[in-house]
Chains A and B, each alone.
Chain A
Amino acid sequence: MTTTATSATESAGRSAEPAEPRAHFTDLIAAEWIKMWSLRSTPWAFVAGTLAIVGFNIFTAYNDYSNWPGWDAQQKADFMPNWAMLDAFTDAAVLCLMLTASAMGALTVVGEYSTGMIRTTFTAVPARSSVMAAKVVVVTAVSTALGLVAAGGSFWSTQALLAGRDTGLSLGDPGVVSAVLASALAAPVAALVGMAVGATVRASAATIGVSFALLLLVPMGISDDHHGTAVVDHLLPYSAWARLIQVAEKPVNFPWSEAGAWTVYAVWYIVCAAITIFAVRRRDQ
């Protein structure tokens, strides 16, 4: 009798603990990938960012191409290799790349907070840090792709243009691959800065403001003439890029190594990823 009653209750609904397959991190990556590409702004930002960056660089390289015949022999000699590399990726281009990538990173986080979507996300997946880690993976992949397309496209098109003056660099020249990679990888570093600030501040306007300040305004306001400010300056991602873009090291008051600059990139990336992943742990959502 008791048995019948029990089984009747059981079959009326389902068992108390729903059958559940093992939770896979790859499912979260797939979900974040869908979320990223189902927004119209993502492909637009990708295409517009790439066109703007490559356009900046081609414009600068074209100026040098046009002015080349009027330069004296000294200027022509000084052009290689650093100026040729800066035609491949200008200051304006790297700032544009950093802004695009940091906005992309920031929006994947604050886009959820500003709409309230974050609660739906964390209700579907209570393992909050895993969600954020999946976002880091997707943003890293997409921003690195953006960086590689922008830096690679710029290098190829500008150096092809400069080849018309029998100058310009090729990837085989010493230091060039590292300079192109540094330009490309400025994108994931900046994207993670946007994510970390977003996960901490959780408001759209403030996030964009703080990210841009960290990436743009602070390095512009700091001189590297004194030891103290040079140390701070050398800790910033923009300065690290400026060091790595030098195919031949320029003499400065306080020189630093390429390895040091790569370390700055790595530390910013890792610290920002950690902030993004752990900021959601304790706080109410």
Chain B
Amino acid sequence: MKRMIEVSEVTKRYGTKAAVSDLSFTVRPGHVTGFLGPNGAGKSTTLRMMLGLHQPTAGSVTINGRPFADRPRGLRHVGALLDAHGVHGGRTARAHLTALAVSNGLPRRRVGEVLDEVGLGDAGHRRIGGYSLGMKQRVGIATALLGDPPVLLFDEPLNGLDPDGVKWVRGLFHRLADEGRTVFVSSHLMSEMENTADHLVVIGKGRLIAAESLKDFAARGTHRSVTVRTPDVAALRTVLVDAGASVTLHADNSLTVTGLSADRVGDLAFQNMVPVHELTPHTATLESAFMELTADSIEYAAGDPR
């Protein structure tokens, strides 16, 4: 219960269209948990239900054992960045954060502290309308940090950040998780999560696809391959094809083998007395595992016949 986000059997329908169907998962403290899914998978809907902004059609979402909407003030419990553009461009970052801090009875010095923390110490007096997307993301992150909350939610926080910014955000997320907080970060790009999250919740078309550690998720990809080099290409190729593998010959005389493990390729070569100079197993990349698992649940595919 402590600091956990618990989504249980949640369904959300808008009219007749189900944005989220019977979704259940738990987000635990002490980890950066990535929330992945293609565009339109229901990530933002789920985050809004966590924050009590949208009411689930069925099921329940609790944070730290209670529906978030039951709390009169939120910033000390959950910090959230939902949409970097969700600020009034006419206000300065300082005024925006001051109003939020005051509404929750937080000391005004927190405003200066979080502005410094996100690197906007000098820009805080300027109007947000003139900020770049990356700076707006920093304002959103500052907003999330304001109440020093044990649970933090970020919707696509890496959008618009430069490489330095991405590196900084990753470091920040890891630090927050190491402090024992629950950090939940959504993205539609697996590559963004690769060095950010250690746990993953993957959804597609509003349904849960996976909720596990990054390592277990990567192991799910079936397109594993092995690179082999041998002086006797023809012989090895015959042996492997006979064993049921598909083999591709490259210009540098190396072979890419799929359908057999590296161990099996080595054994077969040994049994048939074919010398092997290189044997490299390739585990599927996270990206390919993600693409493979969500292929059936892409909401808006290019060239999709309608």
Most buried by A among B1, B105, B150: B105
Q: How far is the CB of A42 from chain B (nearest CB, A)?
A: 10
Query: B74–A40 contact, CB under 8 A?
Result: no
Q: Considering the complex, which residues of chain B in the window 47-83 have a beta carbon less than 8 Å from any beta carbon of chain A?
A: 48, 51-55, 64, 68-78, 80, 82-83
Query: B54–A285 contact, CB under 8 A?
Result: yes
With A12-B180, A16-B2 as known contacts, state yes or no: A123 contacts B74, CB within 8 Å: yes
- Chain A's closest residue to B1 (CB) is A16
Residues of B within 8 A of A124 (CB): 73-75, 100, 103-104, 143
Q: How far is the CB of A50 from chain B (nearest CB, A)?
A: 21
Query: B87–A120 contact, CB under 8 A?
Result: yes
B181 at the interface (CB under 8 A from A): yes
With A18-B150, A35-B91 as known contacts, state yes or no: A27 contacts B103, CB within 8 Å: yes
Query: B77–A120 contact, CB under 8 A?
Result: no
0/1 interface trace, chain B 129-165, chain A, CB 8 Å (1 if under):
0000000000000010001111000000000000000
0/1 interface trace, chain B 74-112, chain A, CB 8 Å (1 if under):
111110101101111111100110111011110000000
Query: B180–A13 contact, CB under 8 A?
Result: yes
B232 at the interface (CB under 8 A from A): no
Interface residues on A, range: 35 or more
With A13-B179, A18-B76, A119-B83 as known contacts, state yes or no: A126 contacts B69, CB within 8 Å: yes
- Chain B's closest residue to A17 (CB) is B64
Query: A39–B74 contact, CB under 8 A?
Result: no
* Total number of B residues with any Cβ neighbor in A under 8 Å: 50
B207 at the interface (CB under 8 A from A): no
Residues of B within 8 A of A80 (CB): none
Query: A23–B105 contact, CB under 8 A?
Result: yes
A38 at the interface (CB under 8 A from B): yes
Instruction: State A38–B89 Cα separation when bound (angstroms).
Output: 11
Most buried by A among B89, B96, B102, B147: B102
Q: Considering the complex, which residues of chain A in the window 1-28 have a beta carbon less than 8 Å from any beta carbon of chain B?
A: 9, 12-14, 16-21, 23-24, 27-28
With A123-B78, A284-B53 as known contacts, state yes or no: A16 contacts B3, CB within 8 Å: yes
Instruction: State A117–B180 Cα separation when bound (angstroms).
Output: 29
Residues of B within 8 A of A17 (CB): 64
Query: B83–A20 contact, CB under 8 A?
Result: no
Taking Cβ atoms with an 8 Å cutoff, the residues of B that contact A are: 1-3, 29, 48, 51-55, 64, 68-78, 80, 82-83, 85-92, 95-96, 98-100, 102-105, 143, 147-150, 179-181
